[in-house]
Every structure is written in C-alpha cells, then in structure tokens.
Amino acid sequence: MIQTIRGTRDILPADIPLWQRVEEAAREAFRRYGYSEIRTPIIEKTELFTRGVGEATDIVHKEMYTFTDRNEESITLRPEATASVVRAYIQHRLYANRAPGEVTKLYYIGPMFRRERPQAGRYRQFYQIGGEVIGASDDPMIEAEVIEMLDWFLISLGIEDSQLLVNSVGDSHERGPYLEKLRESIAAVLDRLCNDCRHRYETNALRVFDCKFENCQEIIAGLPTITDAIGAESRAHFEQFKSHLDARCIAYTVNPRMVRGLDYYSRTAFEIIGGHLGAQNTLVGGGRYDGLAETIGGPPTKGFGFAFGLDRMVMSMPEAEAARVRERARPDVFLVHLGEAARNHAAFIARKLRAAGLAAGMDFTDRKMKKAMALASESGARFALIIGDNEIAAGVYALKNLETGEQQSLDVEAIIEKLKR
C-alpha cells in the first residue's frame, strides 16, 4: 500500500469544515480591509528564494525542495509566498497608475513546502494564508491596520488566548556596527551553542536569536539586542507603530529578541503566539520588508506583510467554535425510500429540495427501513424524509427530526419551508 510522504498528510472530509471556516474568516477580513487575492505558481525559479528569502536563512540553507528540470533549470517548491507576491507585483507592474503613497493590498492562500523535521504543528507540506501591503509608503499606520485586521480575524474564530509580540530589527544599514558587537559576544560563547547557531554566527548572526533549542535560548538571553542599537528613524517609526496599537487598544509585548526567520525583514517585526499550541506555538509571523523588491531586481518598494499557518490556526480553534462549525456543516435532510418506485420518486424530490438550496442526501441502494434510517443518522442529517408507495400516492411525506424523533406529514412546499427555517 502506497502511503503519504513523511511530513505530509491528507486533510480528511471530517476536518474540512474547520479549514473552510478559517479560510472564510480570513477572506472576510481581507474583504473588509481592502485586499485582493493573488494566486502565484507553486514552483518558482530557485533564485527567487535564494535572493529573496536569503541564503543565510534556515529555509534556504536546509529546508527547500529544489530540483533540476529537464532543461537544467533549477526549480524550487515555494517555501513561503512573500517573495512570489512581490515578484508578481513587479512583473505585472501592479504599481502602475498609482497615486503617490498609494499601496496595493494582496492576499494569498495555499500550500508551502519546507523539509523540516515533522512534529505536531510542523509539516513538510503546510498551508499558509498571508497578506502583503506593497507600495511607496512605509507608514507605521499600515502596520497597525494589519494587526487590527488580524485581531478581528482571531476574535471572529473565537481565539482569545493569543499574544502579540513586537520588535524593531532596524534597517540593514543600521545593523552593521551592532552585528559586529553581536558577533563578538557570540564568539565568547560559541562552543556552548548548537551546530545551527554556529552556522548562523558565520552567515547572519542575528538569526541566532531564532534558535528553538532551550539550551541555546539560555545563552542567547545574555546577548546584546538589536532593539538597543537601532537608529533614531527606526526608533521613531517603532514608537509611532506602538502608539497606533495603543490607540486601537491592542495589547502587545515588546520582545527585543524576536527577529523572525527571514532575512528580508527590516524595522517592525511581529509574531502572534497561540495559548495552547505547545512547542510550535507561533500562529502568525510578519514584518516589514522594504528592501525585498530591489533584492529580486525590482524598483525601490516598501512592503509589510504577514503569514499564518492554516494547520496551526485550525488546531487553535476553541472546541466550542469547532463544534458550531461542524454543526453548520451537517446536511439538512436524508431521503429514505422503500421500493423501486419510491427510489425514483425520492430522486425527483431530492432534486426539488436541492434546487431550493437545501443539502439533501440520498442512498442509491434499496434497503430495509431500519438500515435505511441508520444510514440517514450516519449521514449527519438533521431530518430524514421517508418515501414509500403510500406517500407517493398522497403527495405528502414523513419528515422525521432525527434528534427529537418527532415526525410530521408534509408536502414538498411545506418541507422546503420547514427545512429552510
């Protein structure tokens, strides 16, 4: 028997309503806040990520699925979508005919691929929903609006135990002197850090802060932070960002050691962590990426965005909300037919109910009453509609509430009216 590849999984029908609920809430948030959807390819030129995401990141360094195509071109399954969205923005000149300072708001939903160690909440094919605000403006109010939207989104899913962490990682030109100081401090403790951290020390020392090992975390707690080293402009930007959050009554914690996993971040970075997710507790990650467009060959462009994992968002949905969603996904009615004439008639009635917008299920096999009713219950339907020769002759059918057992004889119009209620 051939099975799924390690780190990938099938999302089965029983869980789909929860996934759809998260997607629906996200689409509604994006609609309210003026975002348009964009769909980019799952495969891209490897260069997009090596340049865009950065050689020094864990993602590019060790997590990408890369292959050589038949024409010797190097292709990668996208590990994230911000680089793709910015590429599309440049490639299609989505900035043409814009008023000065106007921004473009885009969102995406889809699978991403990273060859990480699979564990709870971490997969090799996982799903992200993300939003990007791209254009000529780097107004901190854009950042606060993004967080306000996420706040609305989380609350609409009943997720109320999350926590917002914010930081400023400064501009790339401000980081030079700080990085030297950081490297000196790391050099002193290098032999106590993990292999990955030693690699980070060589390639991009800032990324040491992102290490997940507890052992390293203790040592990292003693290192100088970027937040103390950023310049006056970045500092002012960060202060404005925080005051916009305050004005929206959005609670946050400044975490000077939160640097996010991607090379392209500058200035504001943020993370939303979930209350009951365990070790993989980062629900949402995002930040400013002003240099990214230039890195991949575009004109100077500002950008701010975020992505969240659908897998983890579904896991974070409180049980009460999940139960409500499952309840809403139940079919309205299941048709039970007794005899060949009734089978044909049931198909005809089912068509009418479906045309009226109802979810009507029906089994194709002729069965005994008891078995047919059992199937009706298993289908999850709220009602069973029983059709036999007498019902056909009378034009009224027995509609049974499968929860209360209550039964009524009604004609099709009355059935539609009752089920629609």
Nearer to ligand ATP, 258 or 342 (CB): 258
Q: Among 280, 324, 326, 361, which residue interacts with ligand ATP (rule: CB under 6 A)?
A: 280
As a residue count, the chain comes to: 421
Applying CB under 6 A, which part among 148-156, 276-284, 392-400, 409-417 lies near ligand ATP?
276-284
Q: Which stretch binds ligand ATP (CB under 6 A): 96-104, 132-140, 277-285, 315-323?
A: 277-285
333 beta partners: 360, 383
114, 200, 207, 302: which one binds ligand ATP (CB under 6 A): 114
* 311 near ligand ATP (CB under 6 A): yes
Report, in Å, the least distance between residue 362 CB and ligand ATP. Answer: 38
Which residue stretch of 13-21, 41-49, 181-189, 309-317 sits at the interface with ligand ATP (rule: CB under 6 A)?
A: 309-317
* Spatial CA neighbour of 236 closest among 138, 104, 305, 149: 138
Which listed range, 12-20, 28-36, 116-124, 398-406, lies at the site for ligand ATP (CB under 6 A)? Answer: 116-124
Q: Find the binding residues for ligand ATP in span 243-272 (CB under 6 A).
A: 261
Instruction: State residue 216 phi and psi, 5-degree precision.
Output: -65, -40
Least distance CB 411 / ligand ATP (angstroms): 51
CB of 212 to ligand ATP, least distance (A): 7
Cβ distance to ligand ATP smaller for residue 121 or 388: 121
| CA 401 from centroid of its chain's CA atoms | 37
Element of type H or E holding 130: strand 125-135
- Please tell me whether residue 307 binds ligand ATP under the rule CB under 6 A: yes
Helix residue ranges, H only, 262-411: 292-295, 310-316, 319-328, 340-355, 369-378, 389-394
- 92-104: b (≥16 Cβ within 10 Å) or e: eebbeeeeeeebb
DSSP state letters, 75-113? EEE-S-SHHHHHHHHHHTTTTTTPPTT-EEEEEEEEEEE
Residues 6+ apart with CB under 8 A from 160: 154, 318
Task: Single out the residue of 1, 141, 130, 6 nearest to residue 65, CA to CA.
Answer: 6
Site for ligand ATP in 323-342 (CB under 6 A): none
Q: Does 128 bind ligand ATP (CB under 6 A)?
A: yes
Query: What are the residues binding ligand ATP (CB under 6 A)?
Result: 80, 114, 116, 121-123, 126, 128, 261, 280, 282-285, 307-309, 311-312
